[in-house]
Amino acid sequence: MIEPDYVFTCPYCSTGMSVRLDVSGGKRQSFIYDCETCCSPIEIQVEFNGAEVVSFTAHSHS
Protein backbone atom coordinates (compact mmCIF):
# COMPACT_ATOMS: atom_id res chain seq x y z
CA MET A 1 0.00 0.00 0.00
CA ILE A 2 1.46 3.32 -1.06
CA GLU A 3 0.78 6.26 1.25
CA PRO A 4 0.40 9.90 0.20
CA ASP A 5 3.51 12.05 0.00
CA TYR A 6 5.09 12.99 3.33
CA VAL A 7 6.25 16.63 3.49
CA PHE A 8 9.54 17.56 5.21
CA THR A 9 12.42 20.07 5.03
CA CYS A 10 15.84 19.29 3.56
CA PRO A 11 18.42 19.34 6.39
CA TYR A 12 21.01 20.88 4.00
CA CYS A 13 19.25 23.67 2.08
CA SER A 14 15.93 23.96 4.00
CA THR A 15 13.86 23.42 0.86
CA GLY A 16 10.39 22.03 1.48
CA MET A 17 10.03 18.69 -0.27
CA SER A 18 8.05 15.47 -0.14
CA VAL A 19 8.68 11.76 -0.36
CA ARG A 20 6.23 8.96 -1.10
CA LEU A 21 6.17 6.29 1.63
CA ASP A 22 5.35 2.61 1.21
CA VAL A 23 3.85 1.00 4.33
CA SER A 24 4.27 -2.46 2.82
CA GLY A 25 8.06 -2.09 3.24
CA GLY A 26 7.86 -2.92 6.95
CA LYS A 27 7.09 -1.24 10.28
CA ARG A 28 10.51 0.49 10.45
CA GLN A 29 12.27 1.73 7.35
CA SER A 30 15.49 3.59 6.63
CA PHE A 31 16.60 4.80 3.21
CA ILE A 32 18.58 7.52 1.43
CA TYR A 33 16.72 10.14 -0.61
CA ASP A 34 18.53 12.84 -2.62
CA CYS A 35 17.29 16.43 -2.28
CA GLU A 36 15.70 17.57 -5.52
CA THR A 37 17.18 21.07 -5.10
CA CYS A 38 20.72 20.65 -3.73
CA CYS A 39 21.20 16.93 -4.61
CA SER A 40 22.54 16.12 -1.12
CA PRO A 41 21.81 12.67 0.35
CA ILE A 42 19.19 12.68 3.12
CA GLU A 43 18.80 9.74 5.49
CA ILE A 44 15.10 9.09 6.02
CA GLN A 45 13.89 7.00 8.96
CA VAL A 46 10.20 6.26 9.29
CA GLU A 47 8.10 4.10 11.59
CA PHE A 48 4.51 3.02 10.99
CA ASN A 49 1.69 1.80 13.19
CA GLY A 50 -0.46 0.08 10.61
CA ALA A 51 -0.80 2.65 7.82
CA GLU A 52 -0.15 5.62 10.13
CA VAL A 53 3.25 7.36 10.28
CA VAL A 54 4.20 7.55 13.97
CA SER A 55 7.80 8.73 13.54
CA PHE A 56 9.61 10.45 10.67
CA THR A 57 13.13 11.92 10.65
CA ALA A 58 15.24 13.40 7.86
CA HIS A 59 18.95 13.83 8.68
CA SER A 60 22.03 14.76 6.74
CA HIS A 61 23.78 11.57 5.62
CA SER A 62 27.35 11.33 6.85
pTM of the predicted structure, to 2 decimals = 0.84
pLDDT of residue 37: 96
3, 11, 23, 24, 49 from 33: Cα distances, Å? 17, 12, 17, 18, 22
For the chain, give every domain's residue range.
2-60
Query: How far does the chain reach from its first CA to its final CA, in angstroms?
Result: 30
pLDDT of residue 2: 60
pLDDT, tens digit, 9 for 90 and up, residues 21-31: 988 888 999 99
pLDDT, tens digit, 9 for 90 and up, residues 48-61: 998 889 999 999 98
pLDDT of residue 3: 67
b/e for 24-54, b at 16 or more Cβ within 10 A? eeeeeeeeebebeeeeeebebebebeeeeee
Of residues 3 and 47, the one with the higher pLDDT is 47
